[in-house]
Structure 1
Amino acid sequence: MCSLGFARSLGFALLPLATCCIVANLLLFFPDGKMIYIQEHQVTTYVWFFMGIGGGGFLVLIPACVFLGMGKCVDSCGTENCAMCGSVIAALVGLSGSGFCFLISALALLKGPYCLTPKGWKSPFEGDGGKYLLAPEGWSVCTQPASVVEWNVTLLSILLGLSALEFLICFLQLVSGLVNAVCRPCCYKQEYSLNA
């Protein structure tokens, strides 16, 4: 039952992380807090991958709900082993979602924002390998939306951090579920043979 408590605590930890990923991704659609940029398709293409909404959000909510409901699963199917196998599958879903969120957020951060420059609408930092992150004096090349570089860097960094935590939590449950699903039956067989 200790492993069930561990899984439930991981489920509780995933809920706010997934919610924050969804919010951060939604905010990326509205630089400078205005809807005009999304209406005119003047946001970075990476936000349309829905890395925080789908990947770090809804795909991570699946394992969160599974981990939280494992006690009911044990009550209905009768064995903790069955619940642990289900948690392994759910953890794999969470790993894929958080990994997708991390990867797309990193690529978006390297590319930089899509903004209005003296040469028109473009991604002025694309191709510099993320060097613009260490040179904030060059961020003023983006004139619209206001403070778009800071907006993108902050939200994408938040998504990177949150998805890394989600990945770690899902990985911990994957290991815990595998250990419990594989080792527990072996331990029971050993105990039975020793008592016989």
Structure 2
Amino acid sequence: MCTGKCSRCIAITLYPLVVISIICNIVLFFPDGNVTYDKDGHITEEVKYMGGLIGGGVLMFLSIAFAGVGVAGGLYSIIVAVLSLQNGPLCKTGLVWTTPFKELTDDSHYLMDKTLWSLCTEPKNIVEFNLGLFGTLLATSCLQVILCATQMINGLFGCLCGTCNKEAQIA
């Protein structure tokens, strides 16, 4: 495949991933579809890092011009998503807002033991909410890193070997 066609293919594939990342990050600010959690400061810490909006969104748009920035943005989004999946959501347990799964002392992990999810009483279904959206961010970010890395390699080959431009071949 010519370097120009490859670039076009990658750009077309990145656009929907960017939109998905931005939407996921925005929706994460409204657990249970409610704005009061954000207003009261009861949002999972990693949501505030805006990995999907900054890393998977804005920096990924810049990747069209700077594929290396896109790789960095995708890696940032991956790190934030993994941290969030590891730490679990901020939720109300009893009367206190906490991250109950962050420092579990026993061998169980909330991702493997669904019975622990009942520790979170508010917002409703926050564990599933975070798992779904941060899982989606993780998947889209991995694809973005692969595509941007491919774009970097494609650009390198384009610089070293030239493009497949028919006009350039005639001259």
Answer yes or no: same fold by TM over 0.5. Answer: yes
Q: CA deviation at 1:184?
A: 3.5
Whole-angstrom CA distance in 1 between matches of 2:58 and 2:19: 9
* Structure 1 counterpart of 2:62: 62
Q: CA deviation at 1:119?
A: 5.3
* Structure 2 counterpart of 1:147: 125
Whole-angstrom CA distance in 2 between matches of 1:50 and 1:168: 21
Whole-angstrom CA distance in 2 between matches of 1:93 and 1:118: 43
- Specify every segment of 5 or more residues in structure 1 that has no aligned partner in the other structure, as ranges: 67-89, 186-196
* Mapping 1:29-68, distance limit 5 Å: 29-64=29-64, 66=65
* Mapping 1:81-120, distance limit 5 Å: 90-118=66-94, 120=96
Question: Residue deviations 1:128-179, cap 9 Å, x none?
Answer: 4982101111101100000000000110000000000000000111111112
Whole-angstrom CA distance in 1 between matches of 2:86 and 2:95: 20
User: CA RMSD of the aligned region, Å?
Assistant: 1.9
Which amino acid in 2 is paired with 1:25? Answer: N
Whole-angstrom CA distance in 1 between matches of 2:103 and 2:9: 42
* Structure 2 counterpart of 1:181: 159
Report the structure, 1 or 2, having the larger helix content: 1
Whole-angstrom CA distance in 2 between matches of 1:108 and 1:154: 12
What is the TM-score normalised by the length of structure 2?
0.89
Higher-Rg structure is: 1
> Is 1:135 matched with 2:113?
yes
Question: Residue deviations 1:48-73, cap 9 Å, x none?
Answer: 11100011001101224x4xxxxxxx
Whole-angstrom CA distance in 1 between matches of 2:63 and 2:42: 34
What is the TM-score normalised by the length of structure 1?
0.78
Q: Check conservation: 1:21, 1:56, Cα contact below 8 A.
A: yes
